């Protein structure tokens, strides 16, 4: 059995909306403390000692907080120093020139080739780059051949860079299409060139191809590419080549070039034709070539952080609709054009890189931020949160103690939110029940909001409260993940494992008197299969188990309108129930054992094979049990099941529940087989139709009334125990095999009898709807936290339609293995004792052939033959059953079933044995299928007229 831990590490945690008297770091309410007596140590030295002591205590309790405060202080100082350093270095640049080339990765490059982006590639396939459907196109771009123009730009840029080994190739364009998602034009162009192999086999061009992913229009394409060049090479380009549409040449070569003051003789433009209709559509939409006005502000370009701040300053009056956001500043005043001499030294920065006024303002702002951080840190040390006071005052009877603090103040996870209203009068009543022997209680609170925590504080002023932190479970962990339909039990391809749920965080060593948890309870029918609800209850159990000591009881209070997990917090430990308040005093030893189990059925709670199985120490308090409410069908099966248990070596009690319909004759046979008979009153399934097969199957709930036993292994009467399964008595409720989806199969399950659990089942009998209309479906809705055991401990006699030949052969081998491999073989379909022993009669019914196995059939009859003769007599066939078997055989013959079982001659001696008054079963076939005919129509006069053969 593996120790199931609650995994750590989750991006979210509980949060709150803090009040003034709630401390986020300690998770406690601040209490007004008496002013300490005046110390004899006053003056500077005394103050220094006091501050040092506070720092020591604060660091001892909150090392992470001290680390973060120190880190923030250091970062602030570094920011300020870097700003001053930037100004000094900038002044040095203006005097001494550029940085050394060794500081930049591409310092050897001198020329810039810039390809302006015009669209974003959205297809997931690289083979559709020449299709317009693969690109995100604006209305004015939707013309045939548009994608080809993009490819022409990319290819032209690569070829230009290939001709010049000193050129840096930049694809320029940002995330300009909101609906296209977080993708940039530059990324798209680079990816297309890479997928087409245009960079060549050599790494020469590819290593010089980069992206600029901030530009939103054509001016920023040029400006930001120059800045990007400066960032990568440490200098400004000596020559610039721009690749775009030919109708944009005037815009780039004249307006934009003049705006940045680049010399005309070193500026080159490569234009390609646009798709037909593109230019006209662009001009119609106001995106084509129009006039461009300029502004007075200088162009800034030395730091990429500053790029957004200069958009529009040099861009001019017209804004391209594809890029510029609404409200971009447009300056109407004219600015003087840059002189070409500004770029005569191409490797020098722009003269107005940082205006003095802006620089001074930034430094002043950072100084102010630094002062605030320093003051805040100092005040925090002088007046630390309740954590510091807690350590001092817990020994003095304080009502506060520190467990942890809430780290993440992100939006709460809706899965963990509870709509239950807290009834504070009932909370007080619960506290009074458990506080009879204590003056001050220590209470841990989980999943309460800040307002509710304040109510706790006001309600119990003498109690000490601590907030227990619990990170949210990952959203990928669903109920289907915790309870998969199938796992690799044999570990043939993988070792099954369960996902980790975050552990509760609290200070080790604290001993809680009460752990209060507020549970969500959804309105849907699947409220009991809620990961958050399970997580909170497991966390509460974890805190209770860990925080308790020897002979130190812990109470757990749940606030919820839905009942807690009945087999984790059992009703036997329920001290008090008031409305939505559920107060438990759990058995901590049993709780610790349950926490060792996997969190769900995603792992086996019991290994498939083990050298030694666990043993229980109270065999007299343990029993196998089954139930009969149809004597004619299942008495023989129950007798055979009892025989198989004894043959497997178990000596535990055998208990069978029967109703008044079971005759004394059948009871005598059951007693002779070893069953202790208990007569019960049947429980009707309110959802079943009258006289339906499932009308009385809720009678199984009576098993929980077998309170003379601590553990009961329920077994259906249609199975055989081939190997001893007494070790299952060491497992908790509910332990079972998987059935389908997230459900368990109730044919073999471990339960813990309790009258209050029985009452719980009865209380909700009209509310909870069974998924299959029977008791198994109902129990699966109540006991959603169940523990998986290997399917060999309840192996179903069934072949799925999709089973491959190898799987069918493997199952057939398991059915007949000697010595047995399976622990329990569960007979589905038509039961062996209701067939002739010659072959499995499921073969003769089309819809039952998935349950047919002659090998499994033979295995059951071996157990039958080992029974005493007087017990075998309870397995004789009724005349009506013989007629039914013959009817099915004739139908199989008529359909000419390929398996051919209908051809076999019946040698079963029971065919000729009759224990009823009427034995001429062949006559029943004359009226078989007639709804108006019944056995009662056979009168003595009609029998006299029947033919003899």
HEC sequence for 847-901: HHHHHCCHHHHHHHHHHHHCCCHHHHHHHCCCHHHHHHHHHHHHHHHHHCCCCCH
Q: Is the pLDDT of residue 225 over 90?
A: yes
Q: How far apart are CA 603 and CA 2, in angstroms?
A: 9
What pLDDT does residue 412 have? 82
pLDDT in tens, 165-192: 899 999 999 998 888 888 899 999 998 9
Residues facing 654 on adjacent strands: 624
Q: Is the pLDDT of residue 328 over 60?
A: no
* pLDDT band, residue 364 (cuts 50/70/90): low
Q: Is the pLDDT of residue 86 over 90?
A: no
pLDDT in tens, 860-916: 999 999 999 999 999 999 999 999 999 999 999 999 999 999 999 999 999 999 988
Integer distance in angstroms from the first to the last C-alpha of the chain? 64
What pLDDT does residue 294 have? 35
Domain segments of the chain as ranges: 22-30+390-595, 110-347, 621-796, 829-849+858-944
pLDDT in tens, 811-865: 999 999 999 999 999 999 999 999 999 999 999 999 999 999 999 999 999 999 9
* pLDDT band, residue 297 (cuts 50/70/90): very low
DSSP 337-372: PPPGGGGSSTTSPPTTSS-HHHHHHHHHHHHHHHHH
The reply to whether CATH 3.40.50.300 applies to domain 621-796 is no
In words, the CATH class of domain 22-30+390-595 is alpha beta
Q: How far apart are CA 347 and CA 349, in angstroms?
A: 7
- Show the CA angle centred on residue 771, arms to residues 765 and 774, nearest 5°: 60
| CA distance readout (Å), 565 to 343, 571, 586, 785, 875 | 77, 10, 13, 7, 42
Q: How far apart are CA 461 and CA 878, in angstroms?
A: 75
pLDDT in tens, 581-594: 999 999 999 999 99
Whole-structure pTM value = 0.60
What pLDDT does residue 201 have? 66
Average model confidence (pLDDT) for the chain?
80
What pLDDT does residue 195 have? 87
Lowest mean pLDDT among 257-266, 717-726, 836-845: 257-266
What pLDDT does residue 338 have? 42
What pLDDT does residue 185 have? 92
Give the contacts of 656 (CB within 8 A, at least 6 positions apart).
625, 626, 627, 628, 638, 670, 675, 676, 677, 678
* pLDDT band, residue 252 (cuts 50/70/90): very high
Long-range contacts of 254-257 (CB under 8 A, 24+ apart): 255/219, 255/292, 255/316, 256/218, 256/219, 256/222, 256/223, 257/222
Q: How far apart are CA 842 and CA 891, in angstroms?
A: 12
Q: 172 in helix, strand or coil? A: strand
What pLDDT does residue 76 have? 75
Q: How far apart are CA 829 and CA 847, in angstroms?
A: 9
What pLDDT does residue 652 have? 98
The reply to whether CATH 3.40.630.10 applies to domain 110-347 is no
Q: How far apart are CA 786 and CA 745, in angstroms?
A: 11
Each residue of 342-372: b (16+ CB within 10 Å) or e?
bbeebbebbeebbeeeeeeeeeeebeeebee
Q: Is the pLDDT of residue 358 over 70?
A: no
Which backbone phi and psi does 592 adopt, to 5 degrees? -65, -40
Max mean pLDDT range (350-359, 421-430, 522-531)? 421-430
Task: Give me the mean pLDDT over the 246-263 stretch.
Answer: 90
């Amino acid at each position: 059995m593996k120790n199931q831990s609650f995994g750590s590490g989750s991006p979210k945690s509980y949060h709150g909306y803090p009040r003034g008297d709630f401390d986020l770091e300690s998770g406690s309410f601040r209490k007004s403390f008496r002013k300490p007596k005046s110390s004899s140590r006053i003056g500077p030295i005394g103050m220094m000692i006091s501050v040092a002591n506070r720092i020591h205590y604060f660091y001892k309790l909150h090392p992470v907080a001290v680390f973060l405060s120190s880190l923030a202080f250091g970062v602030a100082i570094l920011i300020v120093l870097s700003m001053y350093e930037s100004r000094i270095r900038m002044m040095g640049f203006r005097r001494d020139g550029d940085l050394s080339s060794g500081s930049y990765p591409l310092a050897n490059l001198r020329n810039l080739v810039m390809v302006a982006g015009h669209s974003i590639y959205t297809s997931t396939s690289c083979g559709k780059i020449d299709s317009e459907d693969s690109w995100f196109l604006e209305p004015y771009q939707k013309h045939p051949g548009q994608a080809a123009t993009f490819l022409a730009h990319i290819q032209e840029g690569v070829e230009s860079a290939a001709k010049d080994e000193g050129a840096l190739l930049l694809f320029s364009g940002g995330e300009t299409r909101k609906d296209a998602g977080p993708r940039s034009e530059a990324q798209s162009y680079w990816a297309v060139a890479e997928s087409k192999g245009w960079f060549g086999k050599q790494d020469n061009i590819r290593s010089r191809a980069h992206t600029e992913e901030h530009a939103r229009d054509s001016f920023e394409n040029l400006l930001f590419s120059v800045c990007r060049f400066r960032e990568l090479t440490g200098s400004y380009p000596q020559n610039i080549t721009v690749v775009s549409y030919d109708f944009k040449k005037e815009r780039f070569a004249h307006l934009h070039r003049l705006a940045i003051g680049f010399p005309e003789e070193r500026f080159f433009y490569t234009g390609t034709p646009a798709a037909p209709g593109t230019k006209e559509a662009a001009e119609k939409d106001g995106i084509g070539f129009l006039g461009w006005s300029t502004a007075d502000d200088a162009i800034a370009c030395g730091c990429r952080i500053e790029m957004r701040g200069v958009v529009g300053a040099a861009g001019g009056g017209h804004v391209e609709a594809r890029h510029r956001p609404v409200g971009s500043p447009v300056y109407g005043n004219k600015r003087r054009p840059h002189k070409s001499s500004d770029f005569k030294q191409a490797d020098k920065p722009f003269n107005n890189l940082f205006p003095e006024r802006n620089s001074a303002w930034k430094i002043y702002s950072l100084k102010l931020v630094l002062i605030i951080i320093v003051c805040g840190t100092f005040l925090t040390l002088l007046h630390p949160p309740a954590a510091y006071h807690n350590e001092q005052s817990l020994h003095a009877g304080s009502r506060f103690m520190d467990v942890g603090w809430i780290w993440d103040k992100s939006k709460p996870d809706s899965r963990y939110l509870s709509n239950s209203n807290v009834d504070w009068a009932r909370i007080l009543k619960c506290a009074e029940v458990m506080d009879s022997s204590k003056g001050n209680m220590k209470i841990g609170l989980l999943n309460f909001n800040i307002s509710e925590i304040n109510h706790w504080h006001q309600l119990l002023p003498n109690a000490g409260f601590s907030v227990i932190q619990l990170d949210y479970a990952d959203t990928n962990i669903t109920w289907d993940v915790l309870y998969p339909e199938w796992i690799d039990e044999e570990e043939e391809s993988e070792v099954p494992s369960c996902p980790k749920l975050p552990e509760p965080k609290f200070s080790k060593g604290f001993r809680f008197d009460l752990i209060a948890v507020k549970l969500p309870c959804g309105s849907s029918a699947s409220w009991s299969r809620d990961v958050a609800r399970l997580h909170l209850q497991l966390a509460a159990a974890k805190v209770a188990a860990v925080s308790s000591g020897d002979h130190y009881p812990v109470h757990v209070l749940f606030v919820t309108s839905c009942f807690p997990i009945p087999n984790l917090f059992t009703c036997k430990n329920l001290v008090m129930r008031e409305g939505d308040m559920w107060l438990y005093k759990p058995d901590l030893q049993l709780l610790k054992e349950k926490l060792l189990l996997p969190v769900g059925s995603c792992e086996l709670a019991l290994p498939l094979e083990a050298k030694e199985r666990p043993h229980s120490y109270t065999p007299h308090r343990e029993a196998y049990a089954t139930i009969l409410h149809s004597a004619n069908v299942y008495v023989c099966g129950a007798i055979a099941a009892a025989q198989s248990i004894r043959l497997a070596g178990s000596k535990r009690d055998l208990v069978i529940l029967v109703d008044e319909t079971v005759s004394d004759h059948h009871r005598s046979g059951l007693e002779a087989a070893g069953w202790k008979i208990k007569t019960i009153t049947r429980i009707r399934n309110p959802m079943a139709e009258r006289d339906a097969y499932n009308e009385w199957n809720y009678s199984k709930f009576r098993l929980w009334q077998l309170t003379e036993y601590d553990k009961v292994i329920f077994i259906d009467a249609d199975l055989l125990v081939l190997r001893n399964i007494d070790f299952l008595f060491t497992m908790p409720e509910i332990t079972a095999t998987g059935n389908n989806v997230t459900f368990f199969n109730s044919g073999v399950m471990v339960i813990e009898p309790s009258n209050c659990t029985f009452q719980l089942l009865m209380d909700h009998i009209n509310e909870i709807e069974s998924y299959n209309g029977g008791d198994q479906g109902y129990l699966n809705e109540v006991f959603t936290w169940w523990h998986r055991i290997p399917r060999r401990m309840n192996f179903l006699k069934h072949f799925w339609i999709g089973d491959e030949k190898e799987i069918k052969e493997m199952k057939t081998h398991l059915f007949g293995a000697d010595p047995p491999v399976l622990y329990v073989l569960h007979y589905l379909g038509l039961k062996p004792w209701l067939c002739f022993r010659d072959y499995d009669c499921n073969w003769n019914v089309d819809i039952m052939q998935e349950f047919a196995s002659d090998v499994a059939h033979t295995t059951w009859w071996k157990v039958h033959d080992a029974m005493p003769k007087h017990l075998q007599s309870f397995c004789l066939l009724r005349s009506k059953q013989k007629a039914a078997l013959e009817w099915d055989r004739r139908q199989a013959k008529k359909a000419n079933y390929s398996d051919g079982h209908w051809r076999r001659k019946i040698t079963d001696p029971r065919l000729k044995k009759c224990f009823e008054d009427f034995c001429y079963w062949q006559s029943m076939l004359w009226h078989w299928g007639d709804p108006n005919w019944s056995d009662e129509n056979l009168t003595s006069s009609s029998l006299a007229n029947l033919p003899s053969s």
